[in-house]
């Protein structure tokens, strides 16, 4: 594996695994979730800079050998940097905004998974990779918008976001079906 391929793997795996661990750990991780999440976000930003400069590519087989891959080109370099640059300030703001007795680990875990899914979405080289990342991004987006679900307004906003993205997804899946058929 080349150095740039390793950077791409780290760019996606670091926030994904950390987010999954925080979600799996739950309340016991609340005390250290934000320091860990912000640290991972800063490292992800460093990896994003390296990926944008190095313009790496990674490809391989997924389930049953179906091709999957990531590549950083001119446009995706800008988007990778944007996603990674926005993540640390969002987490810093949320650290001050979320109540101490809230489910902080769940929020940070969802945010890191959302960012990882966005990074995969903007670097995907195959339709399957794009669609899988898109679904994870949609699910985590819904969970983040409706994070404070006990507040009626936020729960309603989450439901509206979910229905809106599901409706928009129909167009994406029609286009994907056309691409596969033609």
Give the C-alpha distances (Å, rounded to integers) separating 182 from 156, 177, 179.
39, 8, 5
Write down the mean pLDDT value for the chain: 90
Task: Read off the pLDDT band of 117 (50, 70, 90).
Answer: very high
Q: Please tell me the predicted confidence (pLDDT) of residue 119.
A: 97
Q: What is the tens place of the pLDDT at every residue in 17-30?
A: 999 999 999 889 99
pLDDT above 90 for 16: yes
Strands (E), the chain: 57-61, 67-71
pLDDT above 80 for 110: yes
Q: How far is it, in rounded angstroms, from Cα 58 to Cα 5?
A: 5
Q: Which of 44, 64, 63, 60 is nearest to 5 (CA)?
A: 60
pTM for the structure as a whole: 0.88
Task: Read off the pLDDT band of 127 (50, 70, 90).
Answer: confident
Q: Is the distance from CB of 69 to CB of 129 less than 8 angstroms?
A: yes
Q: Is the distance from CB of 134 to CB of 95 less than 8 angstroms?
A: no
Give the lowest-confidence range in 128-137, 144-153, 161-170: 144-153
Integer Rg of the chain from CA: 17
Q: What is the tens place of the pLDDT at every residue in 35-68?
A: 999 999 999 999 999 999 999 898 887 777 788 8
Q: Which of 149, 142, 5 is nearest to 71 (CA)?
A: 5
Q: Which of the two residues, 161 and 118, has the higher pLDDT score?
A: 118
Q: What is the tens place of the pLDDT at every residue in 69-97?
A: 999 999 999 999 999 999 999 999 999 88
Q: Is the distance from CB of 47 to CB of 85 less than 8 angstroms?
A: no
69: helix, strand or coil? strand
């Amino acid at each position: 594996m080349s150095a740039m391929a390793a950077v791409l793997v780290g760019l996606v795996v670091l926030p994904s695994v950390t987010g999954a661990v925080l979600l799996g750990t739950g309340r016991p991780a609340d005390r250290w979730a934000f320091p860990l999440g912000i640290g991972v976000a800063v490292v992800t930003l460093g990896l994003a800079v390296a990926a944008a400069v190095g313009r790496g590519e990674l490809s391989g087989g997924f389930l049953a050998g179906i091709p999957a891959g990531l590549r950083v080109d001119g446009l995706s370099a800008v988007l990778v940097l944007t996603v990674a640059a926005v993540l640390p300030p969002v987490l810093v703001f949320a650290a001050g905004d979320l109540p101490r007795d809230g489910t902080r680990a769940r929020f940070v875990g969802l945010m890191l998974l959302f960012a990882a899914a966005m990074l995969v979405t903007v670097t995907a080289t195959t339709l399957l990779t794009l669609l899988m990342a898109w679904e994870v991004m949609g699910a985590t987006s819904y969970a983040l918008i409706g994070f404070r679900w006990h507040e009626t307004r936020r729960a309603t906003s989450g439901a509206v976001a979910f229905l809106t993205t599901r409706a928009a997804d129909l167009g994406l899946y029609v286009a994907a079906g056309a691409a596969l058929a033609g």
